[in-house]
């Protein structure tokens, strides 16, 4: 087991952490993560957003969307997040991660390494997500151009006990990020 490291920045001791935002496509995960990243950086925290789309393009290129490939993708992201967090970075991870067992494996890895981990469920209803349709996925699925869309014709297992549940359709991005920032502050991570 690698001991969790505390990074010294100037005369400040900084503990890293992984903040995992899970939810349906177009739930608001990435938007909230970038808003929170700005707040954390303004407070002097080293912060990195591990965007699920960028990870798929660069770290998980070649993986498809089968259950096995999704699990592999989530484990890769979890490994990188834990590595960053164990070195004093706040790793914000906005990814769908549709399966509970995959998310639990990431949580267990963090626990084994002694690295703080916070799971956030961005609980936006599929009806709201399909209207937002940031990437046009819901329209493509409805037109029969794609299949396997999480929450529509592929499963999404909602977290049963997340550290925080955000209903982004009932509050602003700033309010969502503030709620998450408050939780991190309460836990000594912000």
Summarised one tens digit per residue, pLDDT across range 33-91 is 999 999 999 999 999 999 988 998 888 888 988 999 999 999 999 999 999 999 999 99
**What is the per-residue pLDDT across 135-150, written as a single tens digit (0 to 9) for each?**
999 999 999 999 999 9
> Hey, how many other C-beta atoms are within 10 angstroms of the C-beta on 156?
19
Q: Is the dihedral of CA 24, 154, 68, 114 positive or negative?
A: positive
142 touches 111 (CB < 8 A): no
**Packed helices 29-42 and 173-186: angle between N→C axes, nearest 10 degrees:** 60
Calculate what percentage of the chain has a pLDDT beyond 90: 84
Does the pLDDT of residue 8 top 90, yes or no?
no
**In 3-state terms, what secondary structure has residue 181?**
helix
**pTM score:** 0.91
Contact 91, 16 (CB under 8 A): yes
Q: What is the mean pLDDT of the chain?
A: 92
């Amino acid at each position: 087991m690698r001991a969790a490291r505390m990074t010294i920045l100037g005369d400040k001791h900084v503990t890293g952490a992984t903040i995992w935002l899970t939810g349906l496509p177009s739930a608001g995960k990435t938007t909230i993560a970038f808003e929170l990243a700005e707040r954390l950086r303004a407070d002097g925290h080293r912060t990195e957003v591990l965007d699920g789309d960028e990870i798929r393009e660069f770290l998980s290129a070649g993986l498809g969307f089968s259950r096995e490939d999704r699990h592999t993708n989530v484990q890769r992201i979890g490994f990188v997040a834990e590595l960053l967090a164990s070195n004093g970075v706040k790793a914000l991870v906005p990814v769908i991660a549709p399966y509970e067992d995959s998310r639990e494996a990431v949580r267990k890895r963090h626990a084994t390494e002694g690295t703080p981990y916070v799971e956030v469920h961005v609980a936006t209803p599929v009806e709201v997500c399909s209207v937002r349709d940031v990437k046009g996925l819901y329209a493509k699925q409805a037109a029969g151009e794609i299949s396997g869309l999480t929450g529509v014709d592929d499963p999404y297992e909602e977290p049963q006990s997340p550290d925080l549940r955000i209903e982004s359709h009932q509050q602003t991005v700033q309010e969502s990020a503030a709620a998450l920032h408050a939780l991190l502050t309460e836990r000594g991570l912000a």
